Amino acid sequence: MARTAVVKGKIPPWASNHAEISRRRLGNGSTWFDPVREEALRRFEALGLPTTRREEYRFTNLAPLGRVDFRRAEGVKAPIETERIEKLLFGDRAAVELVFVNGVLDEALSSRGDLADGAVVMPLSTAIRERREGVEEHLGRHIGMETNFFAALNTAILDDGLFLHLPDRCILEKPVHVLFHTTTVDQPIAGHPRNLLIANRGSAAVVIESYAGEGETPYWTNAATEAVVGEGSRLTHYKQQLESENAFHISALDVTQSASSRFVTFSISFGASIARSDIRIDLDGEAIESDMNGLFLARGDQHVDHHTTMNHAGPRCESREFYKGILAGRAKGVFTGRIVVCKDAQKTNAFQANRNLLLSDDAAIHTQPQLEILADDVKCSHGATVGRLDEEALFYFRSRGIDPEEAEKMLIGAFAGEVVEKIDLPLLRERVAALVSARLAGGATGKETA
């Protein structure tokens, strides 16, 4: 198809310093990774920071990101707010918990429980140094560096993160949790966390990625995760984005699924001043099931953008996508959901729904559900709605003596509840539900002038 070439972006002030770090890392550790890093560096320099002239970024102005001179997060020393971090941990309810503070693994906060035989959970940096198996085959092979500036940058720098490798038929009972925490420092810092999840044939695991931070100083998290879901395996992936409201959060998730596998992902997005997530799932085989869920809640001047692609390459697959957004204050939400059904993907079932709640007249939502279908024997549908709280429901509450604020809270809670209750992990479900209520109590409703 005739497509306009990628519009060249701007060169941000931190570009040269980042490129230099990337070059320094060449040949440092494992030489087998150098060609990938070099390619990533080339793409990073060729693409430039995307402007709103690029269709994919039309509603998300990333110019603020180009106005801050970010330093690298790694190694920046700062007091660690242990208490705040501990609240986010799962402790012995998780099989393994890795905590990265400003990009560096914190052994004291991390914990390791019992792992099933053969399962490997370790920092990615260690995996790159100590084992080629699995890492070389997949690292940087699934991420869309061709057009995604941020994914290319992440690959060029490649900070630490989670490496998970499950051999055939390995089943992890407890979830694996990785937390990236950015602490208060007096200068803007940037981190590029990277995760690689590999689930071989017939294996199963649950992975939780958490991103958090605090402070007035803006910082930037540019995360990327690659997941390989092997034949007949089952991977559930949760991402909690609880960054400071002064932070920038950019993330990419690229998943490749093989035949008969099942992948479920949740994107819970509450924080950051500008949050942008690119999620792409390739259904590369027969009879695959895939679920993409999302809940975003934004207030004040927050901007939250999800850009998702469900790519049906194989036949007889089923995908479901369910995103809900709640926008208050002057917040802006963007949702682009693309379902692509390739020529050979006959008997595809693909569904997508995006529902949005606007709580204030200053909030705005841009939603673009898209279908691109090249096979004929398919069932595909998408739906998008935008609205406010139902006046009749509010009236019903009031007629029963429930004050309007309480009623609003309950209705919004119920709206979010449709996504929250899909979370299969009781502890996480409770935490997310609590976060929703806390946000609402903190004045997510339009009345508060955030």
Partner 1 sequence: MKTPDDELKTLADQEYKWGFVTDIDSDTIPKGLSEEVVRLISLKKGEPPWMLDFRLKAYRHWLTLVEPRWAHLDYPPVDYQDAHYYSAPKPKKKLASLDEVDPELLETFGKLGIPLSEQKMLAGVAVDAVFDSVSVATTFKEKLSEEGIIFCSFSEAIREHPDLVRKYMGSVVPYTDNFFAALNAAVFTDGSFCYIPKGVRCPMELSTYFRINQAQTGQFERTLLVADEGSSVSYLEGCTAPMRDENQLHAAVVELIAFDDAKIKYSTIQNWYPGDKEGKGGIYNFVTKRGACRGRNSHISWTQVETGSAITWKYPGCILLGDNSVGEFYSVALTNHHQQADTGTKMIHIGKNTRSTIVSKGISAGRGQNSYRGLVQIMKGATGARNFSQCDSMLIGDRCGAHTFPYIDVRNSSATVEHEASTTKIGEDQLFYCNQRGIDLEDAVGMIVNGFCKEVFRELPMEFAVEAQKLLNVSLEGSVG
Q: CB under 8 A: which stretch of 136-144, 296-304, 361-369, 422-430 binds partner 1?
A: 361-369
Residues 6+ apart with CB under 8 A from 418: 322, 324
53, with CB counted inside 10 A (0-12, 13-18, 19+), is exposed
Q: CB under 8 A: which stretch of 106-114, 178-186, 200-208, 368-376 binds partner 1?
A: 368-376
- Count of chain residues binding partner 1 (CB under 8 A): 41
Query: Which C-beta is closer to partner 1: that of 345 or that of 420?
Result: 345
Residues 6+ apart with CB under 8 A from 166: 118, 119, 120, 172, 198, 199, 200, 203, 204, 205, 233
- The contact pattern for partner 1, residues 56-75, with x = CB under 8 A and - = no contact, is ---x----------------
Contacting partner 1 (CB under 8 A), which of 15, 368, 393, 411?
A: 368
Q: What CA–CA distance (Å, rounded) separates 195 from 75?
A: 19
Could you say which residues in the range 381-420 bind partner 1, by CB under 8 A? 381-388
Q: What CA–CA distance (Å, rounded) separates 93 from 177?
A: 10
Q: CB under 8 A: which stretch of 46-54, 76-84, 223-231, 373-381 binds partner 1?
A: 373-381
8 A C-beta contact, residue 73 and residue 86: no
Query: Which C-beta is closer to partner 1: that of 273 or that of 336?
Result: 336
Could you say which residues in the range 274-313 bind partner 1, by CB under 8 A? none
φ and ψ at residue 181, rounded to 5 degrees: -115, 135
Q: What CA–CA distance (Å, rounded) separates 62 from 153?
A: 15
Could you say which residues in the range 6-45 bind partner 1, by CB under 8 A? none
Residue 55 within binding range of partner 1, rule CB under 8 A: yes
Residue 370 within binding range of partner 1, rule CB under 8 A: yes
Query: Which C-beta is closer to partner 1: that of 1 or that of 216?
Result: 1
Contacting partner 1 (CB under 8 A), which of 83, 117, 216, 361?
A: 361
Contacting partner 1 (CB under 8 A), which of 359, 412, 420, 423?
A: 359
**Residue type at 317?**
C
Contacting partner 1 (CB under 8 A), which of 112, 343, 398, 447?
A: 343
Contacting partner 1 (CB under 8 A), which of 221, 236, 309, 360?
A: 360
Query: Which C-beta is closer to partner 1: that of 15 or that of 351?
Result: 351
Q: CB under 8 A: which stretch of 22-30, 169-177, 253-261, 357-365 binds partner 1?
A: 357-365
Beta bridge partners of 207: 176, 237
For the bound state, the minimum distance from the C-beta of residue 102 to partner 1, rounded and expressed in Å, comes to 38
Structure tokens at 340: 């692509």
Q: What CA–CA distance (Å, rounded) separates 41 from 154?
A: 9
Tokens 């920046």 belong to: 76
Contacting partner 1 (CB under 8 A), which of 287, 364, 410, 411?
A: 364
8 A C-beta contact, residue 226 and residue 142: yes
Structure tokens at 420: 């929250």
For the bound state, the minimum distance from the C-beta of residue 96 to partner 1, rounded and expressed in Å, comes to 42
Structure tokens at 228: 């390989």
Q: What CA–CA distance (Å, rounded) separates 177 from 95?
A: 8
Q: What CA–CA distance (Å, rounded) separates 217 from 182?
A: 11
Could you say which residues in the range 430-449 bind partner 1, by CB under 8 A? 446
Contacting partner 1 (CB under 8 A), which of 4, 24, 401, 426?
A: 4
Contacts with partner 1 by CB under 8 A lie at: 1-4, 55, 59, 343, 346, 356, 358-388, 446
